[in-house]
Structure 1
Amino acid sequence: MRALRILLIVVVILGGLFVAVDRAAVYFAESEAASKIKSSQGLTGEPSVSIKGFPFLTQVAGSSLDEIEVSVGGITATTEGREVEVTEVKATLRDVEVNSSFSSAVARSADGSALISYADLTKSAPKGATVGYAGPERAAKGQVKVSGPLNDLVEGAGIEVPDAFKGMLTDDFTAYSTVSLEAGDKVRLRAEDLPELPVPGVQDKLKEVVDYDLTIDGMPSTIKLDKVTATEDGLRFSGTGTDVDLAS
C-alpha cells in the first residue's frame, strides 16, 4: 500500500509538471503566433491569439493544431475622410498545420467575423444623420434606419435651398438603406423608400448624399468577408476561408 501511495504521488507530481510545461509552451506559441500574424498581415496592433485543445505538446508533435482563435484590434473603416472603428474582429482557424518554429501555419478552414456598431456607423454617415436599427422586419431585408432633422441634413450636405422654401424643411427625415458588401471590404448603403420632400430637386440631391460607401481598411487577408447582417447591435460581417496561410 505504501508503495502504491508513493507511485500515485509521483504520478500526480509528474502530471502537474506536464500540465505546467504544456501551458508554458502554449503561452510561448501564442505569443510567437501573435507577433508573426501582426508582421505578416501589416496590423497596427498585436492580435490576441488563443490556441485551443489539450494537451498542446502532443498537437505540436503531430504538427497540427485543432483550433486557434484570433482577435484583432485597430481595424478602421473610412469614407470621404471620416474614420470609424471596426469592433469584434475575430477569426477561428481549424486544422492548422505548423512547422516546428511556427514560421509557417496553414489553416484548412477558417471563419471570420466583424462588427461595426450603429454609433460608429453614425460617425461615418452624412452630417446631421443618425444610423440605427430598423427593426426586425427591415433588418431581415438587410436594411438600417437613416434619420435626422431634415434642415440639418440639407445644410450639412451643402444643398442650396431658396430662403422662401427653408421653412418647409422643419420635419424629421427618415429613410431605410439597404446594406451590401462588395469585394470583401466595401460596405455600400443605398437608400430605399425615400420620403417625398416639399422642395423640388432636394430629394434627388439628398439621396446622392445618403447613399455612400464605407471601406474597411487593414483587415487581415486571412479574413474574407462575404456576408453582412443588420443586427440590434450594428452591422455584423462574416465569411469563411480554406487553406488560409497565416504567414503571408
Structure 2
Amino acid sequence: MRALRVLLVIVVIFGGLFVAADRVAVNIAEDKAADKIRSSQGLDRTPEVSITGFPFLTQVASRRLDRVDAKIDGLNATAEGRTLRIEQMSAQFHDVKLTSDYTSIESAASATGEARISYADLTAASGKNVKVSYGGEKNGKSQVKISPNLPNLPMLNALEITGTVSIVNGDTVQLRADKLPDLCSRLSACRDQVRGETDHRWKLNRLPGSLKLDKVVSTRDGISISASGTDVKISG
C-alpha cells in the first residue's frame, strides 16, 4: 500500500513537471511564431500569438500544430498619401506545419481572418472633406453614408450620399459613392471633384499569410471584413 502511494506521488510529480515543461515550451514557441509572422509580413508591431492544443510537445514531435491564433495591431494601408488604419485584425491558422529544424512555422493548411475598421478611421483615410458613417441596409445590402464638405460646391454640403464599401481583387478595400446627385452627375467638373473625395481604394498587401479578403459588411459599429486562405505560407 505504501509503495502504491509512493508511486502515485511520483506520477503526480512527474506529471506536474511535464505540464510545466509543456507550458514553458509553448510560451517560447508562441514568442518565436510572433517574431516570424512579424518579420515575414513586414509588420510594425509583434502580433499576439496563441498556440492551442495539449500536450504541445507531442504536437512538436510530429511537426504539426492543431491551431495557431494571431492578434495583430498596427496594420495599415496607404493610398493617395492617406493611411487607412485597421483597428483590429485576428487570424486563425489550422493544421500548422513546422520547419524541419522545429524552430519556426512554415505553412498552414488553411487560415481565416477577421478585421475591423472604424468609421472614424475610414473618415480620416478619406480626407478632410467627407465624413463616412453607417448607412443602413437596402435590398439586403449594407451601405455607408458619405457626407461631403466641399467649399467650392456649397450646394452639396447638405447632401448625404449613399456609398458602398467592397472588396476588389482580394486585397483591396474600396469606398465608392453609389450615385451622385443629378445636378452634379450632369457636370463633369462637379462629378470629378466629388468622386475625388468620395471614392477611394486602399490595398492591404501585408495580411498575415497573404490571406485574401472575402467579404465586407457595414455595421453600426464599423466595417467588418473576413479573409481566408489555403496552403498558406507564413515562413520568412
Q: State if a TM-score over 0.5 links the two structures.
A: yes
| Match status 1:223 vs 2:211 | yes
Query: Do the aligned residues in 1 keep the contact of 2:60 with 2:102 (CA within 8 Å)?
Result: no
- TM-score where L is the length of structure 1: 0.83
Aligned to 1:192: 178
Query: Do the aligned residues in 2 keep the contact of 1:113 with 1:238 (CA within 8 Å)?
Result: yes
Aligned to 1:154: 150
Q: CA RMSD in A?
A: 2.5
CA distance, structure 2, for counterparts of residue 223 and residue 88 of structure 1: 15
CA distance, structure 2, for counterparts of residue 209 and residue 85 of structure 1: 18
Against the structure 1 CA distance between its residues 77 and 40, is the aligned structure 2 distance closer, same or farther, given a 3 Å change threshold?
closer
**Count of residue correspondences:** 233
Aligned to 1:75: 75
Deviation for aligned residue 1:220: 3.3
Aligned to 1:3: 3
Question: Between Structure 1 and Structure 2, which shows a larger proportion of strand residues?
Answer: 2
- TM-score where L is the length of structure 2: 0.87
- Stretches of structure 1 that go unaligned for 5 or more consecutive residues are none
Deviation for aligned residue 1:52: 0.4
Deviation for aligned residue 1:206: 1.9
Aligned to 1:57: 57
Aligned to 1:119: 120
Deviation for aligned residue 1:212: 2.1
Deviation for aligned residue 1:215: 2.8
CA distance, structure 1, for counterparts of residue 67 and residue 128 of structure 2: 44
Against the structure 1 CA distance between its residues 140 and 232, is the aligned structure 2 distance closer, same or farther, given a 3 Å change threshold?
farther
- Match of 1:70, SS state, is strand
Deviation for aligned residue 1:65: 0.5
CA distance, structure 1, for counterparts of residue 40 and residue 146 of structure 2: 38
Any residues of structure 2 matched to 1:1-248 within 5 Å, and which? 1-98=1-98, 99-135=100-136, 137-138=137-138, 140-148=140-148, 153-155=149-151, 159=152, 169=155, 172-197=158-183, 201=187, 204=191, 205-216=193-204, 218-248=206-236
Against the structure 1 CA distance between its residues 225 and 171, is the aligned structure 2 distance closer, same or farther, given a 3 Å change threshold?
closer
Counterpart AA for 1:110:
A
CA distance, structure 2, for counterparts of residue 111 and residue 97 of structure 1: 16
Counterpart AA for 1:180:
S
Counterpart AA for 2:227:
G
CA distance, structure 1, for counterparts of residue 138 and residue 176 of structure 2: 14
Deviation for aligned residue 1:129: 1.8
Query: Do the aligned residues in 2 keep the contact of 1:47 with 1:72 (CA within 8 Å)?
Result: yes
Query: Do the aligned residues in 1 keep the contact of 2:63 with 2:102 (CA within 8 Å)?
Result: no
Identity across matched positions, percent: 45
Deviation for aligned residue 1:77: 2.2
Structure number with greater Rg is 1
